[in-house]
Structure 1
Amino acid sequence: MTGFFKNISRLSYDPDSTDLGFRHYNPDEIVAGKRMEEHLRFAVAYWHSFAWPGGDPFGAETFDRPWFGNTMDLAKLKADVAFEMFELLGVPFFCWHDADIRPEGDTFAESLRNFKEIIDYFGEKMATSNTKLLWGTANLFSHRRFMSGAATNPDPEIFAWSAATVKNCMDATHKLEGQNYVLWGGREGYETLLNTDLKRERQQAGRFLQMAVEYKHKIGFKGAILVEPKPQEPSKHQYDFDVATVYSFLKDFDLEGEVQVNVEQGHAILAGHSFEHELALAASLGIFGSIDMNRNDYQSGWDTDQFPNNVPEVALAYYEVLKAGGFTTGGTNFDAKLRRQSLDPVDLIAGHAGAMDVCARGFKAAVAMQEDGTLEAMRAERYADWDSGYGKALLTSDFATIAEQVVSCGTTPQPRSGRQEILENIVNRFV
């Protein structure tokens, strides 16, 4: 044991507890025919939990972690602390970027040696742990070399560096039996058209994703390839702005049957949508994969990556996940970080524990709404006229025929209430 989480015991479910622990999340509780742990599939994000130093645009780091530094010994200490936290929380999964887990070398080859060594170390840790890998990904945005993008960079050498990085991250994800591989295009966008060949960059991004899919099949990786929609930051115009944009991109490059999406709550808000909108759209398009569960500060207009604390919002999100059939390879990753004033080890545990409780409450509310059936019955009633007779025939007709029917009918259709307030009241019964 590292001693970082000293005096903190493994968290357990106790609905009456007033101490650190779970009041709502019981991993063994059977909900909708499965253990809650199997439904929610919680994952800890390595980067925000163990690599983020507590800085913001106006101030340097506030966290003082004993593993901060650029050596292999410190990277292994960080892994030791991480797996201790996974054990304390009882989470079934974790996620990483390559830059979070290994020291940066002076050359690509040195960074790769460091990466492979820490992946082997992860393998040893996982052999004695119940925590598995939900997904791996490459950090193609933090280093200055990616200031103009990775796949979309005007410099072919950066494209090549990025492709080699993703190849090695996919190898590592496959080796650790990860269930997904994520491509997160943090810099895949532009700030001004004055120096941007938009068509060329989009073609580069499409070919890059095709290569990732080709490599998945070459190595026999059975997990899902996920793209994470990301709007507005850090580039002003992102090629993967939201679910709809990603889907059109996949269609253009014949990838809609190969790639799914990892949808983040904070990104949905920045794109001007609700989280449940993005989830419902992904499901309707057949590309729903996984989620990052966090929230933004709605006053800041920035991707603040806070732990979820709004049960009604979470319930509506999980309602759409349930309607999509639930997770298969995906799960609930906490892409969330502490506030920079939350310095202590217990804060890291408490942030995750509280988020897991909020998700459990929201999920059980979503299950109850689904089992009640009122929402779906009212939705079906609203569209019932499309299922038979005149409505069903309309979609196989043509404008001229429809126009003749409208003229000969002689009646004027009247609008019908959408009953939004009634529907919201129904939701409030459960949350």
Structure 2
Amino acid sequence: MTEFFKGIPKIRYEGPESTHEFAFRHYNPDELVMGKRLEEHLRFAVAWWHSFAWQGGDPFGGQTFERPWFGDTMDLAKLKADTAFEMFDILGAPFFCFHDADIRPEGTTFAETLRNLDEIVDYIEEKMEKSSTKLLWGTANLFTHRRFMAGAATNPDPDVFAYAAATVKSCIDATMRLGGENYVLWGGREGYETLLNTDLKAEREHAGRFLQMVVDYRYKIGFEGTILIEPKPQEPSKHQYDYDVATVYGFLKDFGLENEVKVNIEQGHAILAGHSFEHELALAASLGIFGSIDMNRNDYQSGWDTDQFPDNVLETAKAYYEILRAGGFTTGGTNFDAKLRRQSLDPEDLILGHVGAMDVCARALKAAAALLEDGALEKARAARYAGWDRPEAKAMLKDGTLESISERVLAENITPKPRSGRQERLENLWNRFV
């Protein structure tokens, strides 16, 4: 046992009326919702990077957190793992997620870095044998080190491409060893700042070939998890090749990967792309590429990805409604890609940030499930499009031409009358359930 979380109790469900700070009010993992346990619906995961690697800096100031495991030795990496699994136990977290750089120190050579990764994966594997917490997904950090300042798979230097490929191989291997259910490619710097020094066509083709190699390797080693891409707009690169769900799908189609790769969608990234979270989720589901989510929120008065814990039940419920409509998670889950504010220094803050977020998500999913089971919203949606069930409408889509449709409009004197979209009524309906 470490001393970091000393005195903090295991978080248990006490119900909505509880005034105990260290308790769940809405998240009861065993509660049945639509015939499935709430824990199985939500599949919560703790992000290793924000919870244990982030030091509290921002664009205008450096480290504010002091953690006993901060440093670049294997002993400190193991202390970090000890502390992480203590937190998983306190929260009853079913999953965690990691980048390679979160869990191991950087070596002076790739071979040394690989040895460090292998050693810490062995250590984490031992921790997992005594824990109920599993690995939702692993990924590679191909954006923090200065070697990746011009991208990884899209870097103009082939040696950087090679280094990135070797890194990803090692991380897929680590993910498979730890029983991970997914592997994520997060292209933090797969983009460009200016066309003055960029061969856009070449970079895009290199990114596609890189992803094809990942899929090939997955089959070669028998990794049964899902390969995911996380859409990421603008920040930090001005133009990102993986801007949003639609862009990623077009990319996958171009390289014949639309049936091989799904998306891990983040709320904060959706907002930066000019979309709502539920839009991105609904689009991914309609395209057959929905996989998993990073649950956080942005400060709408800031122009960057602030990665805050969710606190808006209505916004979160709209997201889970689309997830439930899509059939729910399979290998994916709810990863808290959220970090404390840099003034939140105490161990209690780290626990309570997750407790509050888990309660918000549970309350939101239950509201979404109740509305879906009620059926009023789906009935209203179906009624709005009911005209397309008529034989002449189906025939128009299947066999119609501009000439035949024009003849029908003239012959039948079709003069459409606008009909209300009833948005306010449906918003009021939503608010009955939240």
Structure-1-length-normalised TM-score: 1.00
Which residue is 1:278 aligned to? 280
- What residue in structure 2 maps to residue 58 of structure 1? 60
Structure 2 SS opposite 1:395: helix
Cα deviation 1:332-383 (Å, max 9, x = unaligned) = 0000000000000000000000000000000000000100000000000011
CA distance, structure 2, for counterparts of residue 354 and residue 21 of structure 1: 9
Q: 1:399 aligns with which of 398, 402, 405?
A: 402
Helix, strand or coil: the match of 1:18? coil
CA distance in 2, matches of 1:311, 1:121: 38
Equivalent residue for 1:17?
Answer: 18
Map 1:21-420 onto structure 2 (within 5 A). 21-396=23-398, 397-420=400-423
**Distance (Å, rounded) in 2 between the aligned partners of 1:229 and 1:186:** 9
- Distance in 1 between the 2:333 and 2:40 partners? 9
Structure 2, gaps ≥5 residues long = none
Q: What SS class does the counterpart of residue 187 from structure 2 fall into?
A: coil
Distance in 1 of aligned mates of 2:295 and 2:117: 27
Partner secondary structure for residue 184 of structure 2:
strand
In the TM superposition, residue 392 of structure 1 has moved relative to its aligned partner by: 1.2
Runs of at least 5 residues in structure 1 that lack an aligned partner in the other structure: none
Does 1:426 pair with 2:429? Answer: yes
- 3-state SS, counterpart of residue 12 of structure 2: coil
The percentage of counterpart residues that share the same residue type is 76
Q: In 2, Cα distance between the equivalents of 1:30 and 1:382?
A: 32
Tell me how many residue pairs correspond in the alignment: 431
Task: Quote how far apart the aligned CAs of 1:17 are.
Answer: 2.1
* Cα separation, 2, equivalents of 1:361 and 1:387: 36
Coordinate RMSD, CA, aligned: 0.5
CA distance in 2, matches of 1:60, 1:37: 37
Take 2:222 and 2:252, find their aligned partners in 1: how far apart are those partners? 21
Q: 1-side partners of 2:160 and 2:391: how far apart?
A: 59
State the SS of the aligned residue for 1:261: strand
Amino acid at match of 1:303: D
Deviation at 1:388, TM superposition (A): 2.2
CA deviations over 1:312-341 (Å, ceiling 9, x no partner): 000000000000100000000000000000
**The 10-residue stretch of structure 1 (154-163 or 405-414) with the greater mean CA deviation from structure 2:** 405-414
Shift of 1:411: 3.8
Q: SS where residue 73 of structure 1 aligns?
A: helix
* Rounded Cα–Cα distance in structure 2 between residues aligned with 1:361 and 1:89: 17
C-alpha separation in 2, matches of 1:413 and 1:68: 67
With normalisation by structure 2, the TM-score equals 0.99
**Hey, what's the Cα distance between the residues in 2 that align with 1:218 and 1:352?**
37
Which amino acid counterpart does residue 249 of structure 1 have in structure 2? F
| Aligned-partner SS, 2:431 | helix
Post-superposition Cα deviations, 1:230-265, rounded to whole Å, max 9, x if no partner, equal 001100000000000000000000000000000000
Amino acid at match of 1:64: E
Q: Which moved more, 1:343-352 or 1:401-410?
A: 401-410
Distance 2:338 2:330 in 1: 22
Q: Distance in 1 between matches of 2:34 and 2:186?
A: 32
Give distance in 2, aligned partners of 1:287 and 1:381: 27
Offset from partner CA, 1:205-236 (integer Å, 9 cap, x none): 00000000000000000000000000011000
Q: Give 1:244's aligned amino acid.
A: A
Distance 1:323 1:371 in 2: 10
The answer as to 2:10 corresponding to 1:7 is no
| Distance of 2:157 and 2:391 partners within structure 1 | 59
State the SS of the aligned residue for 1:104: coil
**Secondary structure in 1 matching 2:265:** strand
The aligned amino acid for 1:421 is: E
Q: CA deviation at 1:308?
A: 0.2
- What amino acid sits opposite 1:87 in the alignment? D
